[in-house]
Amino acid sequence: MTKKPTRSKDGADKVVENIRRKTRQTYSSEEKIRIVLAGLRGEESIAVLCRREGIAESLYYSWSKEFLEAGKRQLCGDAARQATPQK
C-alpha cells in the first residue's frame, strides 16, 4: 500500500490566504443601506442585485435582517419615549 501524501499549508498557500484577506471588500454602512433599500424596492430580483453588487445572497439577507431589526428597535424606543412624560 502506498501512503497518500498529506498536504500541509506551505508558504504559497499562506501567501494566497493573506492576499484574499487583504483584498476582501468591506462595505460602509451607507453602502449596505443603499443595497438593502434597492432590494426592498423590488425593482429587480435579489439575485440580480447581488450579482451586480458582487455579494452573496446570504450576505444581502443578513444585512436586510440587521437593517429591519435595527429599525424595529428604534421604533420601539420611540414609542417608549413618547409614553413617558418629560419634565
Give residue 12's pLDDT: 87
Q: Kindly list the domain boundaries of the chain, sorted by start residue.
A: 28-83
Give residue 22's pLDDT: 75
Divide the 87 residues of the chain into consecutive groups of 10 and give the mean pLDDT of each group.
62 84 85 97 96 96 96 81 63
Where is 8: in which H helix or E strand?
Answer: none
d(CA 77, CA 80): 5
Find out whether 60 and 40 touch, Cβ atoms under 8 Å: no
